Amino acid sequence: MRMSRFFLRTLRDDPADAEVPSHKLLVRAGYVRRVAPGIYSWLPLGLKVLAKVEKIVREEMDAIGSQEVRFPALLPREPYEVSGRWTDYGPNVFRVKDRKGNDMMLGPTHEEFFTLLVKDLYSSYKDLPLSLYQIQTKYRDEARPRAGILRGREFIMKDSYSFDVHDEGLEASYQAHREAYVRIFDRLGFEYVIVRATSGAMGGSASEEFLAVAETGEDTFVRSPGGYAANVEAVTTVVPDSIPLDGLPAAHPEQTPGTPTIDSLVAHLNEAFPRDDRPWEAADTLKNVLVMLRQPDGDRVPLAIGLPGNREVDAKRLEAHVAPAAVEPFDEADFAAHPALVKGYIGPGALGSESVTGIRYLTDPRVVEGSRWVTGADVQGSHVLDLVAGRDFVSDGTIEAAEVRAGDPAPDGSGPLELARGIEMGHIFQLGRLYAEALDLKVLDENGKLVTVTMGSYGVGVSRAVAAVAEYAHDDAGLVWPRELAPFDIHLIVAGKDEAVVAGAEQAYLDLQAAGLDVLFDDRPGKVSLGVKFKDAELIGVPTIVVVGKGFADGLVEVKDRATGEKRDVEVTALVDHLRS
Amino acid sequence: MRMSRFFLRTLRDDPADAEVPSHKLLVRAGYVRRVAPGIYSWLPLGLKVLAKVEKIVREEMDAIGSQEVRFPALLPREPYEVSGRWTDYGPNVFRVKDRKGNDMMLGPTHEEFFTLLVKDLYSSYKDLPLSLYQIQTKYRDEARPRAGILRGREFIMKDSYSFDVHDEGLEASYQAHREAYVRIFDRLGFEYVIVRATSGAMGGSASEEFLAVAETGEDTFVRSPGGYAANVEAVTTVVPDSIPLDGLPAAHPEQTPGTPTIDSLVAHLNEAFPRDDRPWEAADTLKNVLVMLRQPDGDRVPLAIGLPGNREVDAKRLEAHVAPAAVEPFDEADFAAHPALVKGYIGPGALGSESVTGIRYLTDPRVVEGSRWVTGADVQGSHVLDLVAGRDFVSDGTIEAAEVRAGDPAPDGSGPLELARGIEMGHIFQLGRLYAEALDLKVLDENGKLVTVTMGSYGVGVSRAVAAVAEYAHDDAGLVWPRELAPFDIHLIVAGKDEAVVAGAEQAYLDLQAAGLDVLFDDRPGKVSLGVKFKDAELIGVPTIVVVGKGFADGLVEVKDRATGEKRDVEVTALVDHLRS
């Protein structure tokens, strides 16, 4: 491809709305272009990289015997209604009414439809196991589309689904997918981790995520020296042993005027009620946080979370555990509706389904039986000390909503956790029989009995992968594509207007193409300075840059490695062999 | 691929909603499956054929230097608003509101967005000519989705756009596309015709359609012995010479009771007012037909069409000429609103923008100056005879809305027209400066002056092509794919349970694959009868069927040509060579 005819214009400036490197560079280097928030066009450069990602994904899915199909994006309401997701998706999907008034959805994922298709075609255990996949355009109406194609509203995913009769079959299908994903992400060439995940709105049991490690990632994950890894939503708290109730001091309310915050409370405790053994700490207090849960059907239901005063509620962890409900603030009107709640002094006494407010009350797993707390007395300016869990109050259950901190112990005893950030690139789920049950996918088993099929669901962000690789593989000058994904093999530059040099570059262009290499040839005429040509080459990020210039008179061309910056002069006659190796 | 693992179930019965062969066969043979009206999934067999169509289209577009990009399907309202098509599309598109209330459309075609993209990147005549294409999913909310993937609501198109400074450039771009389309449709292997077309809602000037010739097609086209070809909407009437007004008899109203139809009128004329030269014919009468035009903004405007009484109004021709308005019946309430219209006796006296009704009145091109007509007198039971066009009445213009009939003369004098039916597979347009003007796409020309770019727009129905080929290439037993589109090269059948035969078939499967052939291997166990295997092979339509059976003991396998039915025994040892040739 000749740059003089190539549909490409690089930009000098970062796009105004871009925050992360991949977004800036993919737009500036002419790979993608914004059409609307979270909605992008693929320019020729970008489309070439996208096609290479698709090829890798397709090859590895084919290799595990998964069969490719393609579903429509525009889907009827009914199957989503049966699974409950028509409502559960809330405002996160695009809904469409056709001219006859039928409700449709632009599909964010296709569990229901794969289930129905298999139900349509298959009826016996002999037909299973089965694995189907598609590489297809999906839609989500993100509240905050951001980071270019990293989090778009229209995007391309590979989604696949496995169908088995028995649990062991599902386990094997899951493992096959896991191994295919390892090969896919190894080939894509970015650093990634496999972490335990919650299954969220998808339902089902075991699930893992493949995260591209990136500071700019939206997902937080933890890992331990001993190999534990989980996304932050899936981390479980190490629960302390419970404490015998015998001999614990009785609870006693105390005046604590002007202590509506944990800091002011701790300061007051240390002043007015000093401990013998050590100072009071935030961890000695039980903080009760109120939120409202917006159910998919629109209902708002209050929830109280009790957690040690030294930890905040982590919105993502909370959301993962209350999904499909959305978390909203507990506002003044909500307080007004519950006069028993004394702001700043809320205690377990006013919380729980048996209490005067009837508000569901879930506590952090650290609030074990026998643990002693300073907490609100439900009276302005007053707290209770030595309030003992399991003796003086009982919650409606536990919830993993407290923030995870670096240094917290891994739940499997493999050491202290460190926190890092990543981009969700793949997700594998053991769905189990959830959708098959809802949509009645049954087959005859070995004994002629109808049994419900067990399913897995597996996704790879295909368009997102282009951005994730860019996020990983760039430097200050631009993109640095790994060879398997690069839009071209060679970026050939003619340096100078000398007739022999131009002719030499033209000949090199033909020779390299004849050798089966895909060449981007910067043949732009003399008006485009060599500096601009070099800058563009660095920005675009083709792995090998060949410059035909001054040395050509001596039969030499320069070959530069985009990643290392290493340059070397190569005999023109040996160029093709050199580059092929 | 082994049939025992292949995600495929052939059906014995035609789907209930299927009328045309391609729909029946593609569903029965397991190529596609319906998800909702006009919305289909591609099963593995279908997806393989679709990919081959895409490959042909991509190769031929690349060959004319068109560059591939990909736009989103979900598009913002504003550019469609500027071009006027947000309103013009009326109920024929899917409209979406996002969570912030922004209006979006599922794109049926992308003129506006390609125009804006080029405007974004290019600014000089030196950048042009440019040709861009995409192969992408499109949406139309068809009123009557039918015929499976032949007329779907979600479908795949190749659309491309050319950009030139001068008219001659557009002409050259148009010709290059035309030649690429000839190569594409030649390779797809069905019979097609290139016909003149109207440009319809797209605007612009020159335009041609590529129609696959098929009795089941929705489009009617005409052709003449001398090579004229046009779709029926684009046919122009051969206009008779006008007649000098001097000496023509005066118009005279006559009593014609009980003659509200042309037949009754002609019968009455021949009885009450016989001609000397010949009997009265329907062609001597001027029939005035009233319709309502529903404008895209919802307004209803009446239109009267005057045409010879021996021709009906052709709804498609009328619609093509009044687009983007839709044609609706003129109902009782409409008559009630115009009391000057006397049903069955409407004449030019009550029609036209200057008349008492003010209804716009367009006449057939045959209604030339000096032509004499019998037509309604706007009085119950009365007609006027010898009413002369251009003397006694003047219309508001002409319209090509009368039906075209076999035997009508071709407009270019190339002989009588014959009518046939086809499927629109490609459409090429010289758009001109319509969209560039609306969206302000200008470049600097050779003289440093800003000039508006001239554009072409070109489409191929990619998913539709799968059906069009199936419509062309089938017989009573099933599909008969041309080699370049077939889902597999070879359909290999093991006939019998004999161990040596099974082993021989397995070996042939490996050998054929090793030779680079894509093989569908019917390895289903003995329970599946040979009759079923043969039936499935014929239905699926792979071009070459190889049977390993009885003859294997003598070192022979049977090779059958699906299209001709020709069978021949081939030495096992020579099989690969035989099939590769």
- CB nearest A67 (choices: B7, B39, B132): B7
Backbone angles phi, psi at A186, to 5 degrees: -60, -45
Q: Which residue has the tokens 């030495």?
A: B571
Burial profile B76-97: b = 16 or more Cβ within 10 angstroms, e = fewer: bbebbebbebbebbbebbbebe
Which residue, A510, A490, A519, A503, is CA-closest to A552? A503
- CB nearest B69 (choices: A44, A75, A137): A44
**How far, in Å, CA of B57 to CA of A355, rounded?**
70
And the tokens for A94?
Answer: 């695009």
Burial profile A467-503: b = 16 or more Cβ within 10 angstroms, e = fewer: bbbbbbbbeeebbbbbeebbbbbbbbbbbbeeeebbe
Chain-chain contact of A41 with B67 (C-beta, under 8 angstroms)? no
**How far, in Å, CA of B332 to CA of B341, rounded?**
11
Model confidence at A199, pLDDT cuts 50, 70, 90, reads: low
- Closest-CA distance of chain B to residue A9, Å: 6
CB B450 within 8 A of CB B129: no
DSSP-derived 3-state class of residue B296: coil
**How far, in Å, CA of B304 to CA of B330, rounded?**
10
With a cut of 70, which residues of chain B have pLDDT below it?
199-205
Tell me, letter by letter, the H, E, C secondary structure of A25-79: HHHHCCCEEEEECCEEEECHHHHHHHHHHHHHHHHHHHHCCCEECECCCEEEHHH
Q: pLDDT per residue over A548-581, tens digit each? A: 998 999 999 999 999 999 999 999 999 999 988 7
Chain-chain contact of A130 with B7 (C-beta, under 8 angstroms)? yes
Backbone angles phi, psi at B62, to 5 degrees: -60, -40
- CB nearest A69 (choices: B43, B104, B139): B43
- Closest-CA distance of chain A to residue B314, Å: 25
- Closest-CA distance of chain A to residue B135, Å: 11
DSSP-derived 3-state class of residue A243: coil
Backbone angles phi, psi at A27, to 5 degrees: -75, -50
Q: By CA distance, what is B121's nearest residue in A?
A: A9
Residues paired with residue B124 on neighbouring β-strands, in sequence order: B444
In this prediction, residue A204 carries a pLDDT of: 54
In this prediction, residue B199 carries a pLDDT of: 61
And the tokens for A23?
Answer: 């977004």
Which residue, B54, B17, B16, B49, is CA-closest to B30? B49
Model confidence at A16, pLDDT cuts 50, 70, 90, reads: confident
Q: pLDDT per residue over A307-341, tens digit each? A: 999 999 999 999 989 988 999 999 999 999 999 99
Chain-chain contact of A113 with B72 (C-beta, under 8 angstroms)? no
Lowest mean pLDDT among A203-207, A275-279, A459-463: A203-207
And the tokens for A524?
Answer: 């732009």
And the tokens for A571?
Answer: 């005999």
- Closest-CA distance of chain B to residue A545, Å: 23
Task: Report ipTM (2 d.p.).
Answer: 0.90
Chain-chain contact of A75 with B42 (C-beta, under 8 angstroms)? no
Q: Write out the CATH class of domain B21-193+426-471.
A: alpha beta
Integer angstrom CA distances of residue B2 from A65, B5, B467: 11, 6, 25
The CATH label, of 3.40.30.10, 3.40.50.2300, 3.30.930.10, 2.70.98.10, for the domain at A21-222+422-471 is 3.30.930.10
In this prediction, residue B200 carries a pLDDT of: 55
B95 CB neighbours in chain A (<8 A) are 96
* pTM score of the predicted model: 0.90
Backbone angles phi, psi at A154, to 5 degrees: -120, 125
B122 CB neighbours in chain A (<8 A) are 9
Q: In the predicted model, what is the mean pLDDT of residues A353-357?
A: 94
User: HSE on the CB side for A396, CA within 13 Å?
Assistant: 15
Which residue, B135, B138, B72, B106, is CA-closest to A152? B72
In this prediction, residue A218 carries a pLDDT of: 87
Q: What is the DSSP letter of A416?
A: B
| Whether residue A365 has pLDDT greater than 70 | yes
A252-388 folds as: YbaK protein (3.90.960)
In this prediction, residue B145 carries a pLDDT of: 84
- CB nearest B121 (choices: A9, A65, A104): A9
CB A111 within 8 A of CB A79: no
Give the list of residues 6+ apart from residue B185 with CB closer than 8 angstroms, or none: B192, B210, B212, B425, B426
In this prediction, residue B297 carries a pLDDT of: 82
DSSP-derived 3-state class of residue A91: helix
Q: pLDDT per residue over B278-287, tens digit each? A: 999 999 999 9
Q: By CA distance, what is A72's nearest residue in B?
A: B41
Share of chain A above pLDDT 90, in %: 88
Chain-chain contact of A139 with B74 (C-beta, under 8 angstroms)? yes
CB B266 within 8 A of CB B280: yes
Chain-chain contact of B153 with A39 (C-beta, under 8 angstroms)? no
| Whether residue A114 has pLDDT greater than 90 | yes
User: Would you list the domain boundaries of chain B?
Assistant: 21-193+426-471, 252-388, 490-580
- Closest-CA distance of chain B to residue A81, Å: 15
- Closest-CA distance of chain B to residue A218, Å: 21
Chain-chain contact of A47 with B36 (C-beta, under 8 angstroms)? no
And the tokens for B400?
Answer: 């090509």
Q: By CA distance, what is A42's nearest residue in B?
A: B70
In this prediction, residue A200 carries a pLDDT of: 55
Residue A182 CA to its chain's centroid (Å): 17
In CATH, the architecture of A490-580 is: 3-Layer(aba) Sandwich (3.40)
In this prediction, residue B18 carries a pLDDT of: 86
